[in-house]
Structure 1
Amino acid sequence: MKMVRNTLLIILLFVSSIVVTHAQIKLPRLISDGMVLQRDIQLSLWGWASPGEKIQLTFQNKKYEGTTDASGKWAIQLPKQKAGGPYDLHFSGTTSITVKNVVFGDVWVCSGQSNMELPMERVKEKYRTEIAQSENQFIRHFLVPDRYNFKQEEQDVSGGIWEAANPKNILNFSAVGYFFAKDLYARYQVPIGLINSALGGSPVEAWMSEEALKKFPNHYKEAQRFKSDSVIRAIEASDNKRAQDWYATANATDKGLKAWHKTDLDDTDWQSINVPAYWASSPIGNVNGVVWYRKKINIPSAMLGTKLSLWLGRIVDADSVFVNNVFVGTTSYQYPPRRYEVPAGILKAGENTIAVRVINSAGRGGFVEDKPYFIASASDTLSLEGQWKIKVGAIMPPLQGPTFIRWKPVGLYNAMIAPLLSFPIKGVIWYQGESNTGNPVEYASSFPAMISNWRENWKQGDFPFLFVQLANFMQVKTEPTESGWAALRQSQLKTLNVPATGMAVIIDIGEWNDIHPLNKEDVGKRLAFQAQRIVYGDKKIVASGPLYQSSAIKGNQVILTFSSTGKGLTSSDGKELKYFAIAGADKKFVWAKAKIEGDKIVVWSDAIPNPAFVRYAWADNPEGANLCNKEGLPASPFTTEQFDVSER
């Protein structure tokens, strides 16, 4: 009998613990300490508790109530609030939670791929003063963790906290997002909340719901395929084994792994290469595998005694760096800038040796040009450019790249956007497109479809959607040519036909050798210009450079008309207009002359007596394109061709 009573007691305690646990109020991670809530709009604050439980919100000595539904979800309506704070919100039911330090302001979702995701930490050397002066409790940032889900829309994000801007926290902020928020706060003194939900390398279809993807059958079909866990496991297993085998062989066959970083190594028989450069241009040729670099440098005694840093620009792909036989750092992929701290006592006055082991699995490997290469103390720098020694450690076949499952259609929408849809926002800033340059014409349909998809599911009407046009990137071409990047910019330009959209043109601030240009301040400012005009009603602001509107053919000339001309058309360098190309009906483009006549531009070429089409800045990297308005904002690239899906 005693055993029965004990068993019943255990069961009752177990059941009781389930009820208590289930009854606890749970809030989504966005509704947490330090959050920014959208001002001037009725808010629906939500969470979870026991089915049928009454939940009460106490705010400013007023009480608001809601009741959980059969699934345990509840929502409480909070009336419109003006900008301000901080406040506390107290939620109570069987249990209670207080959310502290809440402000009301404008909430912006920052999304896209790596140029939006890129944190201030990556550009901290460029913006040291900005970071040091960043203290502002009214600019706040919430970083949504990277995650995908192909099977269903998630109810909450997997992590994240609200952080106010200060010299420590700001390193985690989206750099573009921060400068956008900083500019808006300076002008309007309204708290700004940034929800950073972006992922490097992601194509637009990864950010679309399953329903929206039905208009794009190939992407929809792929989304269905990746609902299978077994498919994902098989791909990951294959990718991992292929990469592990490749790197294991590279390490096992690398002749220099145990000795070539040593200071006393005799490298007189090594070949020479001028750094920065890719080794394909050196005597070792275009090989993949492991290549070692060595350089002897003389350090003056005046540079010693303070913290020293080693700047090695960018290296393709992975590097391990040794100074005087001491390992000082490594980077596993090509994009981050190489900045290594050299511990005290490693460098000495006189001769020192730097050794760099570079692993390149595909394409051209080496040191990227037009990047900084030097050793720096607090007061001086010593260049590392010039002659280095080079030797192959191991030659390997190119490694087939992995399948980036996280970029597949619908996955990011389900895990990184769907959980945000109940959180009211002011609008979206978007920087993406690089990953869709392989099919730029489709982007003219898929990008507007994604905007419509978000607006429909956020249920806030046509909220502002401000986006960045692709920057200039890659080698400059000397003749007119086709370009996936230019074609995608055209698709972005056409997206301005979607209501309440704005575009920041940045073809003047990219970097030919870096898909992640460092100038994020001007990107943020140009997005803020668009927000001032579209969102905050400043009709006097010239938010954009010239935008192509229409063309007319008169004899051998094409007359172009523009909007957003501001105080007038001009060239950024005071010289004649450049980067205009003209073609007849055969679309064989040649460089053209162009001149400004009032608010129009006249384009012609003696080689094209019967012109049909004009292009401007139509290239991956239209360096030298100089059309702008007198406010200094660059014109968007364009073509006068009818450029649509039917042409592919």
Structure 2
Amino acid sequence: MPKPNIIAALLYMVVFAASVHAQQLRLSPVLQSNMVVQQNQPFKVWGNAPTGTIISIQADWMPAPVSVAADAGSRFLGIIPVPAARKGDFSKHRLTISGGGEKQVLDNLLIGETWICSGQSNMQFKLHETLDSASELPAAAYPQIRLFNAGLNFSNEPLDSIKGTWQECSPATARTFSAVGYHFGRELLAALDVPVGLVFTGIGASAAQAYVPREVLAADTLLNRVYLQPYLDSPKSKEKIDGGFTFEKVTRPFLLYNAVINPFINLSVKGFIWYQGESNRGERESYTRLTQAMIQSWRERFGQGSLPFYYVQVAPFWYDKDDATLADYAFFREAQEHVSKLGNTGMVVTMDVGESRDLHPKNKKPIGVRLAKTALNRTYGNLHIAYRGPEFDYVEYGNKDVKVHFRPETVLKGLETNNAKTPEHFFVAGADRKFYPATAKIEGNTIVLVTPKVKRPVAVRYAFTNFPVTNLQNKEGLPALPFRSDDWPETTPAK
């Protein structure tokens, strides 16, 4: 009769063998029950299995399975068709992946639209922290919306795995999800009447260079000089990288791309929304180029064409300098605006919903709604939905006044203020380049300015200082974009 310790050893070997066997077929952690499968485009199913294993992929909407073999690196990737979503159809679906005598089943899947939400703290800002959370949270019961909060990580090399769980949107799960992302998704759901999947993958205080692949930074002379090489030349680049948060580590080049963006590149998505900039506020041309390079690199890595990228301009903030004439943050916002020169991008303005003494304004709903309006018009073709506030066109200098014209398509229904007061934060300068406040009034689709202190005006600026909270908007309720008519160089150093 075998001794007890031999029996225990045999039992351990059996259990160990079973556990090893159970792990032979593994799906990417991005693919889970409860997720939204991107409609009307090929959908990748990927994971790991022993080399040569034939993997069968069968969705309940497919007449026959797709089969692929695991490669020499024990990886597999199959591509399956996905039908177009139908309005009002929230049917639950099943996806079965089998191979080597094992099977994994993903249940409670919906077919709809999936968007990635990323950036720093104002995108991470949770729904329960917002101005209207007392009314919004109890109403956040939308099982047609699915949420994925990606776990924070850092890596020197691109990763395939990520922590996080797909969950139905409920007051409990929406509570700690991105408020901007939630409101964006809810607006899409209301307008499109199809399921919406939202992935938040970002972290507060992060800099844009952290989300750009190393080789992309290295290939651009400016980006290499400003961002990559200083890091590679520093002792920080020699440290062992772990997953722990520090305010310094989230500004290092490429680490966040590797750890929180790269794991998603096989995921079929509709597009990206982005709210970031505060950590790069001292930069100008390099930030514009950096963000455009980031967008282009994401599009290339995801391999789904020129995916739409809609982003948020930073809100007014004083940065502990109570001088209403300072404009360094305005010049940074201008650098953000220039990002939209890249195709299939769009910027949302926040000048009217900022809080000059709070870096994290709590009124996030309008931001999510404006991002959604941009997507609904630009991506989904709902051209009747206005998404742009008044944008500067040109200026006329008269003998006694100055008339500001806006692009006609941004003031189709006219101008107004959100508080019934006169428009604020207009400034006029003469040849001496000294700006003085101007009295403004609305005349039709124009703004007429009067400034007794400037006899021969040559330049106009609107909301082009660090922390103006504005009131000018079009009659669709969208705020005017800050602008300057001059091209004078910034005279004060960026802080």
Give me the TM-score of the superposition, normalised by structure 2. Answer: 0.86
Shift of 1:19: 12
Aligned residue runs from structure 1 range 585-624, under 5 A: 585-623=431-469
- The residue aligned with 1:574 is 420
- What is the aligned counterpart of 2:326 among 482, 486, 489? 482
Please identify which structure carries the higher strand content: 1
Counterpart amino acid of residue 270 in structure 2? K
| Alpha-carbon shift at residue 22 of structure 1 (Å) | 9.4
Corresponding position: 1:111 with 2:118: yes
**2-side partners of 1:498 and 1:229: how far apart?**
31
Partner residue, 2:158: 153
Select the residue among 205, 210, 214 that pairs with 2:209. Answer: 205
1:442 aligns with 2:286: yes
- Is residue 105–residue 191 contact of structure 1 (8 Å, CA) maintained in 2? yes
The equivalent of 1:626 in structure 2 is 471
Distance change in 2, residues 1:411/1:477 (3 Å)? closer
SS in 1 for 2:47: strand
Match of 1:641 among 470, 480, 486: 486
1:477, distance to aligned residue in structure 2 (A)? 8.6
Map of 2:70 onto structure 1: 68
SS class of match (1:577): coil
Deviations, residues 124-143 of structure 1 (Å, cap 9, x unaligned): x8322322222221111101
Give the letter for the 1:407 counterpart.
T
Pair 211,551 (structure 1): closer, same or farther in 2 beyond 3 Å: farther
Q: CA deviation at 1:572?
A: 2.7
Aligned to 2:254: 410
Q: Does 1:138 align with 2:144?
A: yes
Give the C-alpha shift of residue 556 in structure 1: 7.0
Question: Which structure: larger Rg?
Answer: 1
RMSD: 3.1
Counterpart for residue 196 of structure 2? 192
The alignment covers a number of residue pairs equal to 468
What residue in structure 2 maps to residue 273 of structure 1? none
**Deviation string for 1:457-516 (max 9, x for gaps)?**
222222111111212223899976232321222122222322222222121112233211
Query: Using the alignment, how far apart are the partners of 1:171 and 1:606 within structure 2?
Result: 52
How far residue 551 of structure 1 moved from its aligned partner, in angstroms, is: 3.9
Q: 1:221 aligns with which of 201, 215, 229?
A: 229
Cα distance change on mapping 1:169 and 1:484 into 2, 3 Å: same
Q: Could you tell me which residue of structure 2 aligns to residue 433 of structure 1?
A: 277
The answer (yes or no) to whether the contact 2:324–2:467 under 8 Å persists in 1 is no
SS of residue paired to 1:178:
helix
Deviation readout 1:354-400 (Å, 9 max, x if unpaired): xxxxxxxxxxxxxxxxxxxxxxxxxxxxxxxxxxxxxxxxxxxxxxx
SS at 1:163 equivalent: strand
5 Å-filtered alignment, 1:299-318, equals none
Alignment partner, residue 83 of structure 2: 81
Q: Deviations over 1:206-234 (max 9, x none)?
A: 1111122232122111443479674468x
Distance (Å, rounded) in 2 between the aligned partners of 1:645 and 1:590: 17
In the TM superposition, residue 600 of structure 1 has moved relative to its aligned partner by 3.2
Distance 2:490 2:27 in 1: 45
The Cα offsets for residues 299-318 of structure 1, whole Å up to 9 and x where unpaired, read as: xxxxxxxxxxxxxxxxxxxx
2:167 pairs, out of 163, 167, 179, with 163
Alignment-mate amino acid for residue 78 of structure 1: I
Q: Assess, with a 3 A threshold, how the Cα gap between structure 1 residues 230 and 446 changes in structure 2: closer, same or farther.
A: closer
Q: Deviations over 1:228-269 (max 9, x none)?
A: 674468xx9xxx9xxxxxxxxxxxxxxxxxxxxxxxxxxxxx
Superposed displacement of residue 575, structure 1 = 3.1
Verify the 8 A CA contact 2:430 2:457 in the aligned structure 1: yes
Relative distance call for 1:91 and 1:423 in structure 2 (3 A) is same
Q: Is the 8 A contact 1:480 1:581 kept in 2?
A: no
Distance 1:179 1:130 in 2: 10
Query: What's the offset of the Cα at 1:619?
Result: 2.0
Write the distance in 2 (CA, Å) between the matches of 1:454 and 1:571: 38
The residue aligned with 1:32 is 32
2:3 is aligned to none
Q: Which amino acid aligns with 2:416?
A: T
Paired residue secondary structure (1:132): coil
- What secondary structure sits across from 2:232 in the alignment? helix
Structure 1 residues without counterparts, runs of 5 or longer: 1-5, 241-401
For the pair 1:520 / 2:389, whether they are aligned, the reply is no
Partner Cα distance (1:403, 1:475) in 2: 17
Length-normalised TM-score, structure 1? 0.67
Cα gap change, 1:225 to 1:171, in 2 (>3 Å): farther
1:253 equivalent in structure 2: none
Deviation per CA, 1:540-578, whole angstroms, max 9, x where unpaired? 111121122344555675543323113012233333322
Asked whether the equivalents of residues 205 and 250 of structure 2 are also in contact (C-alpha less than 8 Å), the reply is no
Q: Which sits farther off after the overlay, 496-505 or 17-26?
A: 17-26
Q: Contact 2:226/2:286 (CA < 8 Å) preserved in 1?
A: no
The answer (yes or no) to whether the contact 1:480–1:618 under 8 Å persists in 2 is no
Partners of 1:646 and 1:67 in 2: CA distance? 62
Give the direction of change, closer, same or farther, for the CA distance of 1:553–1:177 in structure 2 (3 Å limit): same
Q: Distance in 1 between matches of 2:268 and 2:129?
A: 30
